[in-house]
Structure 1
Amino acid sequence: METPVRIDSRFPNMGTTIFTVMSRLAAECGAVNLSQGFPDFQAEPALFDAVHRHMLAGRNQYAPMAGMPELRQAIVDKVAALYGVRYDVESEVTVTAGATQAIFTAIAAFVRPGDEVIVFEPVYDSYVPAIETVGGTAVYAQLTFPDYVPDWEQVARLITPKTRMIIVNSPHNPTGSLFSTVDREKLAKLISGTDIVVLSDEVYEHILFDGEQHASLCAHPELATRSIVVSSFGKTYHITGWKIGYVVGPAALMAEFRKVHQFNVFTVHTPSQLGLAEYMQDAGRHLRLAAFYQEKRDFFRQLLAATPFELLPCRGTYFQLARYDRISDLPDREFAEWMTREVGVAVIPVSVFYADGRDDRVVRFCFAKQESTLKAAAERLGKAFL
């Protein structure tokens, strides 16, 4: 249908997210989809049973704006057990409609027109559009290739009186790198005495490998007082389609967060919250996640070992980066499309995570898949490259 309305777009250069583009192309081509980050396996039936039970019990009306008390209490208890800090259940935790909503809401709550927000490239693709939507300006710090570690001297140079927020992400999507305890100390020192808010995207907090420990900002006394920390039930319990996450932070920051949250979402699906609160009582369900995904990571890396791909270190998340210099000279976006159409395996080009399209000839695989899916992808790669 055509419209007579003349549209002067606020975002003329903002396209469709690469995850939608590549998943659509994968479906059209019948490719094995290792692009978008979602599991192709189910959560435990116990979680579904718990939600169903609460539905049948009539718990189907609006939850409180901040989230069901049972779930908020379970979140507070989990964070205390893991990181040694106990947030106030009434004023310092909010249940959200996924992590993306949480991130957008936090940015909208604190970033005003003209403010600057420091982000680290390669940067997850929802951060910058959210910053620009509210009139802020993204300022880009670089994670140094190929280890993808922060350059804190560069960050220090980027901080100005206009800096309102710094966004950090660990374990890091798309690179699989980790924020260390040393990184936390350097960040804390840089912003001490300022009014800078930190937004910490920790949705992969339970997916770290080789004995690594998550350096949550919750566990740093100074950073915790100025941070909104985001996590995701979708990533933890294999239910990305439920779109349920949460944030924790000091009461004064949370009060501002909730001013926006109440009008862009208000509340989240009630029986799912109650089911999650019940399911969380077994801490092993999140504590076992690292071993579960390390087995998948190691299995996938072994499958790709014989191919010409150069696998970069993967210390966390369920993503594996790989250089393809020995395979092709194509730019990574063209290579990803060629892989999907001709090889039958869909991947994400890492250049899309850079403002200037920097292309290191690296693509991202998602290994949050059944072994049969990973084997099918490896067979296609083997036929193409061996």
Structure 2
Amino acid sequence: MTTFVWDYRREYEVERADILDAVDTVFRSGQLILGASVQGFEREYADHHGVPHCVSCDNGTNALVLALRALGVGHGDEVVTVPNTAAPTIIAIDQVGATPVFVDVREDDYLMDTAKVAEVITERTRCLLPVHLYGQCVNMAPLKDLATRHGIPVLEDCAQAHGAHHHGEQAGTMGRAAAFSFYPTKVLGAYGDGGAVITSDDEVNARLRRLRYYGMETRYYVEETPGYNSRLDDVHAEILRRKLTRLPGYLNSRKEIADRYAAALGDTDLVLPRTAEGNDHVYYLYVVRHPLRDEILRRMQEHDVSLNISYRWPIHIMKGFAHLGYGPGDFPVTEALADQIFSLPMYASLDEDTQNRVIDALRTVLESL
């Protein structure tokens, strides 16, 4: 039987009764859209972060789109971010008519090199968008200083960082707004798509609520355009409410899995994940490096272990983003990583026997190179 980098089925068997009860609760409520379950989840997710506002939506990409719009980012504006991220980060910037401006990442932890941000800020810069990647946070102090100095907001991309902390501050609480994804693979995942934006800004909250509902405040009356139909379904909201109570357990399990990988693979020539200073890593992904990455992945398939690469192609060399004007060589760290990184199985319900199978196969492959 093939081992995959992610599998929800064991978790579902453990939580099945509660998940099905959540579905039944919504179906019996008489409210399927923006009902009590959505309202309850938004309140509880905001409380979890210690902020006053959470506005849920239909997916993480639209969480970024709505947040950018609510922060006033639009046509002709520039947003500073990184090319080592999932394409939806950049797609969201493109959808609001803005231009992504890239800085490279750091070689040791793969996160935004904040020392490079100041040199790319221009009079058109309207937002700094750090991506908290693989389960840990970008170094936020320099970004917040730049944001204050230039009068521009910070929007945190927290799709991969539920529950992560940076110098004691929780991911999502260090900027003017933060976007989350609840795609099923996430640390806190639904059983389908979902997203949310959290903020302490009352004006941003009000705009988010209008924008996700056609630009309306009163039913059938549009206050602003373009508006969106971007709502989290009550079924997913109720499931997320239940799973939010189990988030500490998910985080503990991921850290235990990461510790086992580190103990079992620390004597190999793999480059294992490094936790940046001040960070509490939640290991959304367990990303390792090796110069013979592709050969390793091929041989692991022979052991019925299917691994993943996040991300094989840097954003700036993709054909779909050629209009941005970047090319090979512009961001050497990102490009070097793209040739070497790959992810080992990482999910809270990964059992020790399956993990040992992956470790044994990987050690065998590494020894045969």
The TM-score with structure 2 as length reference comes to 0.73
Partner of 1:256: 207
For residues 136-151 of structure 1, the aligned pairs below 5 Å read 136-148=98-110, 150-151=112-113
> What secondary structure is seen at the aligned counterpart in 2 of 1:317?
coil
> What secondary structure is seen at the aligned counterpart in 2 of 1:168?
coil
For residues 176-191 of structure 1, the aligned pairs below 5 Å read 176-179=135-138, 183-191=139-147
Give the Å deviation of 1:313: 1.6
Instruction: Give distance in 1, aligned partners of 2:48 and 2:109.
Output: 31
CA deviation profile, 1:5-36 (whole Å, cap 9, x unmatched): xxxxxxxxxxxxxxxxxxxxxxxxx75322xx
Is the Cα contact below 8 Å between 1:62 and 1:269 reproduced in 2?
yes
Partner of 2:194: 244
Partner of 1:53: 24
Instruction: Give distance in 2, aligned partners of 1:230 and 1:349.
Output: 18
Partner of 2:118: 156
Is the counterpart of residue 317 in structure 1 residue 283 in structure 2? Answer: yes
Q: Identify if the C-alpha distance between structure 1 residues 310 and 129 changes in structure 2 by more than 3 Å, giving closer, same or farther.
A: same
Is the Cα contact below 8 Å between 1:41 and 1:238 reproduced in 2?
no
Instruction: Give distance in 2, aligned partners of 1:349 and 1:148.
Output: 11
Give the Å deviation of 1:354: 5.0
Q: Identify if the C-alpha distance between structure 1 residues 49 and 217 changes in structure 2 by more than 3 Å, giving closer, same or farther.
A: closer
Is the Cα contact below 8 Å between 1:347 and 1:363 reproduced in 2?
yes
Partner of 1:7: none
For residues 130-141 of structure 1, the aligned pairs below 5 Å read 130-141=92-103
> What secondary structure is seen at the aligned counterpart in 2 of 1:248?
strand
CA deviation profile, 1:216-248 (whole Å, cap 9, x unmatched): 352x5xx4xx32443648567764433233211
Instruction: Give distance in 2, aligned partners of 1:342 and 1:75.
Output: 43
Ranked by relative contact order (alpha carbons within 8 Å, sequence separation 6 or more), the top structure is 1
Q: Identify if the C-alpha distance between structure 1 residues 279 and 338 changes in structure 2 by more than 3 Å, giving closer, same or farther.
A: closer
Number of residues paired by the alignment? Answer: 324
Is the Cα contact below 8 Å between 1:98 and 1:244 reproduced in 2?
yes
RMSD: 3.4
Is the Cα contact below 8 Å between 2:63 and 2:195 reproduced in 1?
yes
Partner of 2:65: 104
Is the counterpart of residue 41 in structure 1 residue 5 in structure 2? Answer: no
Is the Cα contact below 8 Å between 2:308 and 2:342 reproduced in 1?
yes
Partner of 1:24: none
Partner of 1:358: 335
Is the Cα contact below 8 Å between 1:234 and 1:243 reproduced in 2?
yes
Is the Cα contact below 8 Å between 2:265 and 2:359 reproduced in 1?
yes
Is the Cα contact below 8 Å between 2:41 and 2:237 reproduced in 1?
yes
Instruction: Give distance in 2, aligned partners of 1:354 and 1:343.
Output: 31
Of residues 70, 74, 78, the one that matches 1:116 is: 78
Is the Cα contact below 8 Å between 2:272 and 2:287 reproduced in 1?
yes
Of residues 56, 62, 73, the one that matches 1:95 is: 56
Is the Cα contact below 8 Å between 1:350 and 1:364 reproduced in 2?
no
- Identity over aligned residues, as a percent? 17
Note the residue ranges of structure 2 that are not aligned, 5 or more in a row.
Answer: 215-227, 276-280, 317-327, 329-333
